[in-house]
Amino acid sequence: MTASTVLETRVPPTRAPRRRRLTWAALRRRLAPYVFILPFIAIFALFSVYPMIFTLRLSFTDWRGTGAATWVGLDNYAYLLTNQAFWSSLGNSAVMWLLIVPAQLVIGLLAAVLLNNAKLKMRGFYRTAFIVPFVTPLVAIAQIWIVVFDQNYGPVNDLLGALGLPGIGWLTTSEWAKPTLALLFLWKTTGFAIIILLSGLQSIDASLYEAAELDGASRRRQLWSITVPLVRRTLMFLVVLQTLAVFQMFAEPYVVTKGGPYSSTTTAGLYLYNHITRADLGTGAANSFLLVILVMALSLLFVRLLRAKD
């Protein structure tokens, strides 16, 4: 008997592994996660994906809300990109962004640092007071703004008159209308920004501040060297969120100034609404997608600039 024959007799042949039969219980366990998320997927597809696809297709047509849509290709986009009113609305939104977001970051961060101080009395009251404007209906706030900043009978101009200063057309002049609307937006949304930043501050280890105090670092130095770097992700989130809000701003100029005077407060959101009032839905759809592209580009830019380093 040869050696090869001995090995063949001693080593049993390998058998193919048996396929385990998938029981009904095992199948249910595998499908259970997908069944649980199925309602979300269905709602997201119905109310988000389908409207976006429909709007994208609509942006290449001329449709007035009734009848058949006429395919026009890129004509709607070409019209918007060569329209002075479209670029003016983007410019107004950009100016509003410059007036709102930097000031809100500074005010919100300083207020959040004060509220995060354990020695501050009545912290719960202050937190509630800051968030009340955010949950107040915007129309009510806008009506108050109209009365307070009225050129002839508003208390702000009455105060200026008492100081011997001339009255200002806060809502009737192109120079002051945007700052007045920006102040309204700041007053309403800064409380929300404070709450967001406060949540970021509370995640910072207190031992870092204790070590900084032992090293002789001042409060200002601690704020710049510890607080700001460690809340960069929160600041990034807030900048992106408020950029979306500013470029979608509609209710504030619509209620307070109607986009005037001389279209100086016609924001990108209000300009988009004007297409709907004229039943120019194809151009409105194209306008919305141009805004989506712009806001996405700005968001990616801010994420790149404010991304926290490892």
35, part of any domain: no
pTM over the 0.85 mark: no
Contact of 134 with 189, CB cutoff 8 Å? yes
214, part of any domain: yes
For residue 71, the cross-strand partners are 61
pLDDT at 164 over 60: yes
271, part of any domain: yes
For residue 61, the cross-strand partners are 71
Print the domain residue range for 201: 77-306
Question: How many structural domains are present in the chain?
Answer: 1
pLDDT band per the 50, 70, 90 thresholds, residue 7: very low
Cis check: omega of the bond before 261, within 30 degrees of 0: yes
Q: What are phi and psi of 161, to 5 degrees?
A: -65, -40
Task: Count CB-CB contacts under 10 A for residue 13.
Answer: 5
Closest CA to 109 of 196, 38, 14: 196
Q: What is the pLDDT of residues 226-285, one digit of tens each?
A: 888 888 888 888 988 999 999 989 989 999 998 888 889 999 999 999 888 888 889 999
H/E stretch holding 61 reads strand 61-62
Tokens 């962004």 locate to 97
Mean confidence (pLDDT) of the chain: 85
142, part of any domain: yes
108, part of any domain: yes
196, part of any domain: yes
Q: What are phi and psi of 70, to 5 degrees?
A: -100, 125
16, part of any domain: no
Contact of 148 with 154, CB cutoff 8 Å? yes
Give residues with Cβ within 8 angstroms of 148, minimum separation 6. 154, 155, 156
CATH, residue 281: 1.10.3720.10
| pLDDT mean over 47-53 | 89
Quickly list DSSP for 155-201.
HHHHHHHHTT-----TTTSHHHHHHHHHHHHHHHHHHHHHHHHHHHH
